[in-house]
Amino acid sequence: MATNESGGRAATLSDVARRAGVSLATASKALNGRDDVAPATRRRVVEAADDLSFTPNAMARGLLAGRTGTVGLLTGDLEGRFMIPILSGAEDAFGAGQVNVFLCDARGDAIREQHHLKALLSRRVDGIIVVGRQTDPRPSLGQEIPVPVVYAYAPSDDPRDLSLTPDNYSGGRLAIEHLIATGRTRIAHITGDPSYAAAQDRLAGARAALEAAGLSLVGEPMFSAWTENWGRDAAAVVLTQHPDVDAIFCGSDQIARGVLDTARDLGRRVPEDLAVIGYDNWELLAGGARPELTSIDANLQQLGRQAAQRVFDAIDGIDIGTGTHQLPVRLVIRGSTIPRR
Amino acid sequence: MATNESGGRAATLSDVARRAGVSLATASKALNGRDDVAPATRRRVVEAADDLSFTPNAMARGLLAGRTGTVGLLTGDLEGRFMIPILSGAEDAFGAGQVNVFLCDARGDAIREQHHLKALLSRRVDGIIVVGRQTDPRPSLGQEIPVPVVYAYAPSDDPRDLSLTPDNYSGGRLAIEHLIATGRTRIAHITGDPSYAAAQDRLAGARAALEAAGLSLVGEPMFSAWTENWGRDAAAVVLTQHPDVDAIFCGSDQIARGVLDTARDLGRRVPEDLAVIGYDNWELLAGGARPELTSIDANLQQLGRQAAQRVFDAIDGIDIGTGTHQLPVRLVIRGSTIPRR
DNA sequence: CTGTTAGCGCATTCAC
DNA sequence: GTGAATGCGCTAACAG
């Protein structure tokens, strides 16, 4: 709880002006660092403002300026693993630029999303970032929004929008190239829900890399859920049906954790007998695994930062372009693919 | 990206009034559902507003009303595991009440926190929730804040503030009572960083429950890090030094995961030979474990919701009280403490 | 029922 | 250099 400082509302610029014995206009100039004000006067004003712990009313200011210095972050699902880094990156970028972020969680509900969108427009946000929960294209907010919109993670289904999404194809390719570089040739793939674009894109990248090396996947890719349990079960199948497999590319770190479990149960040494590579580079899972998990990092925080930057640019009138941009991912090598020295 | 709808700025209430052929005031009344306006007139106004896709300017409205319908969420560290549910709960509660949330991440930096606080006050938020990253008391924002402040998770160190924090003591007690109820008597404790109040409080609760049953911990509680690796290492020590241990109470789910690993390595069957209980009920870890992990859930989303409710109440002039309130936690039973039927 | 008037807090013309 | 007006978009008194 808190107490009001001076009995009533917050101090206003008139209060400051009165206390400093100057006019409202002069007080404004003095506090805003305009140079057509006498040094002595400025000092008096600043002091008065300080005494009253005056805080300029951003609303009043925004009303005049036409910009609010706020942006909306419209997320599809806060709980998701991928929101946080993106959100964090965006908040970081905006925070440095004196911009404040309205957080709205639509909870995967289109109605709620519409409601939040309306609220954001009512607040006259200068821009909006829409963060989806999957990398599958999502419905566009439409072209009628009066402020710049950038889609992050889940691209918009309208090519006239600007979308930033991780390059899952390259991720799959990177993973396989790394496995091949460490001498693996019998590579299987265990991944999550086949209805996810992420699963399909990573697989496509993986296949391209294999093909480029004159190889192909051992067995069919195994699809099911993005869970540890699925990783365990699938690995048991793979290692039984194809005992000569020397590497498994997993669609997520969770799956990879399950795979590691089963590998140990079946007496396969990782990485000597079997290399395992995950996806997402979720520190909690990758760093806690035994051995630690090599993984693909989608640079999500970076993605959030870039989305923010684009919104910034758009607000400044810079053309930010359109279309879906695939942002680079990176390989993080740990002990599950190369033996410790 | 987006296009401006009508070449210029967003439609204003005057635009609507003009188009409907009424005065500004009438338009306002019509749109705000005041009853002293003719039905026909209202229809015309609403229609005009619709045509122009008029969205009321919340700033202008707020300027008049003295309240903005916004609150600040000042977090210490977005990345942390505990922020999200709290944040999500708060956003949920506020969202239902037409309130929008400013998200500010201080990243554990006092300077940045001060900066964000200033920004929030400048935006004239109606209230603030401060979410800390640990349950240790944190410095108060002070009593000079002109709006209600509620501290969540990390309580304020000033008893004049209102703080909501999970009841770690009860959590420790619940865990032990459950183990005892399932027939365990040789119980060890492996937990995280001893400098965390959470570690100490949970331990204290555990000790109380043991004492009440005429028991005591097997060996000294083992403190180190909140990690899977520590859980593995510590479990090896415990199970070697005290082979007769029949239960391990872990300070976090991560630690518990490590303990499960070692238990399997050493041939202990869970839960038959050894019961393991975690803390936090992190679905990802608890649900993916083999067997699934019994754990203590701190009801963080609920905590976030309650914090929001308190802020609501305070805004409405209701006295929300002071002091640190310990919110109830709950036991979630899974296969690591009771055998599957 | 409807329209006119007066601000909310501030930045920005302009005169002085 | 400084101060008196003007208006951002809107709602709440009033008066017609």
Confidence check: pLDDT of A102 > 70: yes
For residue B332, what pLDDT band results from cuts at 50, 70 and 90?
very high
Taking the C-alpha atoms of residue A323 and residue B1, their distance in angstroms, rounded to an integer, is: 10
Q: Do A1 and B104 touch (CB under 8 A)?
A: no
Percent of chain A with pLDDT over 70: 97
pLDDT at B176: 98
The Cα of B134 is separated from the nearest Cα of chain A by a number of Å equal to 18
Tens of pLDDT, residue by residue over A322-334, are 999 999 999 999 9
Q: Do B59 and A123 touch (CB under 8 A)?
A: yes
Mean per-residue pLDDT over chain B, rounded: 94
Answer for A23: CB within 7 Å of strand D: yes
The CA R_g of chain B, rounded to the nearest whole Å, is 27
DSSP H helical ranges for A182-318: 197-212, 228-241, 253-265, 283-288, 300-315
Taking the C-alpha atoms of residue A188 and residue A3, their distance in angstroms, rounded to an integer, is: 64
Q: Which residue of B has its CA nearest to A318?
A: B1
Confidence check: pLDDT of B2 > 60: no
Taking the C-alpha atoms of residue A268 and residue B334, their distance in angstroms, rounded to an integer, is: 29
Q: Which nucleotides of D are covered by protein (CB under 7 A)?
A: 1-5, 7-13
For residue A4, what pLDDT band results from cuts at 50, 70 and 90?
very low
Q: Which nucleotides of C are covered by protein (CB under 7 A)?
A: 1-13
Answer for A65: CB within 7 Å of strand D: no
Query: Does the bond joining B271 to the residue before it have cis omega, within 30 degrees of 0?
Result: yes
Q: Do A144 and B53 touch (CB under 8 A)?
A: yes
Do B190 and B222 contact (CB within 8 A), yes or no? yes
Percent of chain B with pLDDT over 70: 97
Strand D within 7 Å of which CB atoms in A 151-190?
A: none
Q: Which residue of B has its CA nearest to A64?
A: B60
Query: What average pLDDT score do residues B169-180 get?
Result: 98
For residue A64, what pLDDT band results from cuts at 50, 70 and 90?
very high
- Gap from A34 CA to C15 C1', Å: 19
Taking the C-alpha atoms of residue A148 and residue B183, their distance in angstroms, rounded to an integer, is: 62
At position A57, the amino acid (one-letter code) is N
Closest residue to D3 (CA, C1′): A23
For residue B44, what pLDDT band results from cuts at 50, 70 and 90?
very high
For residue A86, what pLDDT band results from cuts at 50, 70 and 90?
very high
Tens of pLDDT, residue by residue over A229-238, are 999 999 999 9
Do B87 and B95 contact (CB within 8 A), yes or no? no
DSSP code, position A138:
B
Taking the C-alpha atoms of residue B17 and residue B40, their distance in angstroms, rounded to an integer, is: 14
Best to test chain B binding among A63, A71, A100, A283 (most B CBs inside 10 Å) = A100
Mean per-residue pLDDT over chain A, rounded: 94
pLDDT at B4: 36
Q: Do B102 and A105 touch (CB under 8 A)?
A: no
pLDDT at A81: 87
Confidence check: pLDDT of A1 > 50: no
3-state helix, strand, coil split of chain A in percent (to 5) is 40, 15, 40
Residue with tokens 């709980």: A79
Give the closest residue to B320 by CA, choosing from B194, B189, B147: B147
Query: In 3-state terms, what secondary structure has residue A151?
Result: strand
Residue with tokens 């202008």: B60
Structure token digits, residue A216: 């192909």
Best to test chain B binding among A103, A151, A264 (most B CBs inside 10 Å) = A103
Q: How many CB pairs under 8 A join A and B?
A: 181
Do A278 and A250 contact (CB within 8 A), yes or no? yes
Query: What average pLDDT score do residues B49-67 get?
Result: 93
Confidence check: pLDDT of A7 > 70: no
Contacts of B5 in chain A (CB under 8 A): 144, 146
The Cα of B183 is separated from the nearest Cα of chain A by a number of Å equal to 29
Answer for B32: CB within 7 Å of strand D: yes
Taking the C-alpha atoms of residue A258 and residue A250, their distance in angstroms, rounded to an integer, is: 10
Do B27 and B19 contact (CB within 8 A), yes or no? no
Taking the C-alpha atoms of residue B127 and residue B216, their distance in angstroms, rounded to an integer, is: 46
Give the dihedral of Cα atoms A171, A176, A178, A180; nearest 10 deg: -170
Give the closest residue to A70 by CA, choosing from A114, A123, A115: A123
Confidence check: pLDDT of B5 > 60: no
Query: What average pLDDT score do residues A137-151 get?
Result: 96
Instruction: Give whole-number Cα distances, B262 to A14, A232, B243, B287, in Å.
Output: 69, 18, 13, 18
Query: What average pLDDT score do residues A279-302 get?
Result: 97
Contacts of B88 in chain A (CB under 8 A): 78-79, 105
Contacts of A70 in chain B (CB under 8 A): 102, 123
Q: Do A1 and B146 touch (CB under 8 A)?
A: no
Burial label for B335, CB within 10 Å (0-12, 13-18, 19+), is middle
Contacts of A79 in chain B (CB under 8 A): 84-85, 88
DSSP code, position B138:
B
Residues β-bridged to residue A223: A191
**Residues 6 or more apart whose Cβ sits within 8 Å of residue A271:** A182, A291, A335, A336, A337, A338, A339
B288 closest CB neighbour out of A58, A85, A229: A229
- Gap from B18 CA to C1 C1', Å: 18
List the single range of B30-34, B149-153, B257-261, B290-294 with lowest mean pLDDT. Answer: B30-34
Q: Which residue of B has its CA nearest to A92?
A: B105
Q: Which residue of A has its CA nearest to B301?
A: A79
Answer for B24: CB within 7 Å of strand D: yes
Closest residue to C1 (CA, C1′): B37
pLDDT at B8: 62
Closest residue to D1 (CA, C1′): A37
Confidence check: pLDDT of B36 > 90: no
CB atoms within 10 A of CB B30: 25
Q: Do A55 and B118 touch (CB under 8 A)?
A: yes
Q: Which residue of B has its CA nearest to A100?
A: B102
Give the dihedral of Cα atoms B280, B282, B283, B289; nearest 10 deg: -90
The CA R_g of chain A, rounded to the nearest whole Å, is 27
Sign of CA dihedral B207, B210, B216, B221: negative
Tens of pLDDT, residue by residue over B186-195, are 999 999 999 9
Confidence check: pLDDT of A3 > 70: no
Do A160 and B18 contact (CB within 8 A), yes or no? no
pLDDT at B35: 83
CA B252 to chain centre: 17
Tens of pLDDT, residue by residue over A154-189, are 999 999 999 999 999 999 999 999 999 999 999 999
The Cα of B16 is separated from the nearest Cα of chain A by a number of Å equal to 15
Closest residue to C3 (CA, C1′): B23
Closest residue to C7 (CA, C1′): B64
pLDDT at B6: 42
Tens of pLDDT, residue by residue over A217-274, are 999 999 999 999 999 999 999 999 999 999 999 999 999 999 999 999 999 999 999 9
Decide which of A96 and B176 is more confident: B176
Do B218 and B245 contact (CB within 8 A), yes or no? yes
Q: Do B288 and A227 touch (CB under 8 A)?
A: yes
pTM of the model: 0.95
pLDDT at B97: 86
Query: In 3-state terms, what secondary structure has residue B74?
Result: strand
Contacts of A123 in chain B (CB under 8 A): 58-59, 70, 100
Confidence check: pLDDT of A116 > 80: yes
Taking the C-alpha atoms of residue A225 and residue B290, their distance in angstroms, rounded to an integer, is: 17
Tens of pLDDT, residue by residue over B97-111, are 899 999 999 999 999
Type and span of the H or E element at A251: none
- Gap from A29 CA to C14 C1', Å: 15
Q: Which residues touch strand C (CB under 7 A)?
A: A 9, 12-14, 24-25, 28-29, 31-32, 34, 54, 56-57, 60-61, 63-65; B 21-26, 29, 36-42, 60, 63-64, 66
Q: Which residue of A has its CA nearest to B53?
A: A144
Percent of chain A with pLDDT over 90: 91
Closest residue to C8 (CA, C1′): B64
Closest residue to C6 (CA, C1′): B64
pLDDT at B34: 87
pLDDT at B205: 98
